[in-house]
Every structure is written in structure tokens, then in C-alpha cells.
Amino acid sequence: MSVLVDAAISRSELKGSNFEMTYGGATSFMRRNYSKSLVGVDVAVSGVPFDLAVTYRSGARLGPRAIRAASVQLAELLPYPWGFDPFERLAVIDYGDCFLDPHNPLTVRDSIKDHIENMLEYDVFPLTFGGDHYITYPILLAMAEKYGKGLSIIHFDAHCDTWADDEEYSLNHGTMFYKAIKNGIIDPAKSVQIGIRTWNEDFMGTNILDAEYVHNNGWQKVVERVKEIVGNNLTYLTFDIDCLDPAYAPGTGTPVPGGLNSAQALAILRNLQGINLIGADVVEVAPSYDHAEITALAGAHVACDIICLLASSKK
């Protein structure tokens, strides 16, 4: 019997799936082709292994590797509850990681921005794994150059990340959206932050659906409000894994009790059909604080559901 081994480096086509041992082989995200060619690609998964902007525990630089490794079981069966193979509908590759020079931190912003711009030149949807949450800011800079300003964000997080910071090249994973709103990249009135449970004197006009709102109203009401807020505006989705309660995501840099459980977060994600998504990220997975891959598994499922969400509109 002839079996394709290490499909990530031996599969000839961009679409389709292959059975492999879950416990062996090349661990690209969900066994997708490793490739630096963006021709004919719909979605490029890539990592930004960066954690110099953290304010508490470091370690998220190892997040992209952990999410990829945790995704192997997801590639074995059709994803639940979708019941279809998203890779029959979308050409998805693993583009590898963004190269960064940690010894020259002032180069980081532009290195990440250039990394994303390479994909956007080919009209590819970037799905990016952090790294700490700072990486979303240079990604949004690239998005604004491609699509214009006034974008919406759907932001899952324990923290609003709108604390004041007027230094353009400063590295802080709690100030990115302050900069993005102040620079007009994000329209706060058409943006929503889900799961927030830390205080800020100024949320800068964003719509807050805090953790208490989710617990009290249920995922159905959250989805309804999100769709009302963003409408048909071009939307970027950013998922900080610390949106989840530490019981469901211990492996992260700034855990905050009282958060969403995995079922709530995934139910919200899976029901965002109709949102005009242009890019997404999953950030702040820090595997050195993880237990039994709980956090990495959650990150991999979030990423898989984002891909399935995109694929659901391509029948």
C-alpha cells in the first residue's frame, strides 16, 4: 500500500487532505503544504515568534510552534461541527515564520508589516500565530495600506489593549489598539471587544462585551451584537488566548480569572458567518506555562474554526 508521508512537503496540490499518523510527520499547521509561493493561495498560515513586548510572563515566542504541533489531530477527521473538509474549498498553506531580529527591536514593527504585505500583494488571507499581542499592530498597518483605514476589529481578550502610548515604535502588548484607533486604522464605533475583564479609564469608544456580559447573556446574544456592530465593514479578527479563563488556557503570559470557557468562545466564532473578514490572528500562547497542551489545543481549534468559517462561504 502506497501512503503519502509528510504531506506538508510531499503533497503536489494545494487543496485536499491526506491521512497521516497523528503522532509523526512534519507538523505544519493541520498538515498543510509548507510553501513560500503565494500563487493560487487563499489562506497563508504563518507564525510571528515574538514576545519582547510582554508586561508579565514571556514565552509566547514559542506559541506558533506549539499551535502547529497541537493541530495534528485536527487534520485527522472532518472538523466538528462543520462536517466538511475546508481544504477541499480553500487553498491553505503554512508559510512558515516571520524572521525577526530580536537584537534590533526597533526593526520588529516593519519586519512584521513587510511579512504581511507579501501575502496581501497576492490577495491572500493572513492567519497569523503569535507571539505576543503586539504583533497585531504592524499587521493592522499592513491591512490599512491594502484596504484603507476605518477597519473593524473583533477582539477576544481579557484586556482592552487601549492603554495610552504615543511612541510609534515602542513595543507594548497593551497599547496596540490605542495606536490603531488614534491613527484611524480602526473605527472604534464599528469594533467590538469580547471577554474583557480588566479596567481601563478610557476604552476609546470601542463596544465592550465583557466576560460578565457573555456569561449572563450567552453566546447567541454576543453573536447578534457583534453582527450589529461591525455590519459589512471590513473586519480583522484577533484572538488573544487569555480571553479564555486560565482553567482553559493556563499557558499564557497575563492570565485573568473569570474568563470565557472554550465552548463559549468556539460557539461565538463558529456563528460569525457573514462577517467580512480580511485577516485574523491567534496570539499569546506561551507553552512553557501550559499543561497537557490545553492552551495550544485551544489555539489550534480557534485557528481551525476561523478557516472553516472562511470555507463555509465557498461551497
Backbone angles phi, psi at 264, to 5 degrees: -60, -50
Record the cell numbers describing residue 4, joined without a space. Answer: 503519502
Is 215 annotated to bind ligand? no
Q: Smallest Cα–Cα separation from 251: which of 92, 85, 51?
A: 51
Query: Which amino acid is present at 265?
Result: A
Please compute Rg for the chain using Cα positions: 18
* Cβ(229)–Cβ(190) below 8 Å: yes
The answer to whether the annotation marks 202 as part of a ligand binding site is no
Residue 24 in contact with residue 6, Cβ under 8 Å?
A: no
159 marked as part of a ligand binding site: yes
- SS3 annotation, 16-36: CCCCCCCCCCCCCHHHCEECC
Residue 53: phi, psi to the nearest 5? -100, 5
Judge whether 161 is annotated as a binding position: yes
- Could you tell me the CA-to-CA distances from 107 to 30, 126, 138, 165 in Å, in that order? 31, 21, 11, 18
Pair 156, 180: CB distance under 8 Å: no
| Burial class of residue 59 (count of CB atoms within 10 Å of its CB; 0-12, 13-18, 19+) | buried
Does 157 belong to an annotated binding site?
Answer: yes
Residue 103 assigned ligand-binding role: no
Question: What stretches of 183-274 show up as alpha helix (H) in DSSP?
Answer: 211-230, 262-270
- Write out the binding residues: 133, 157, 159, 161, 240, 242
- Write out the binding residues for Mn(2+): 133, 157, 159, 161, 240, 242
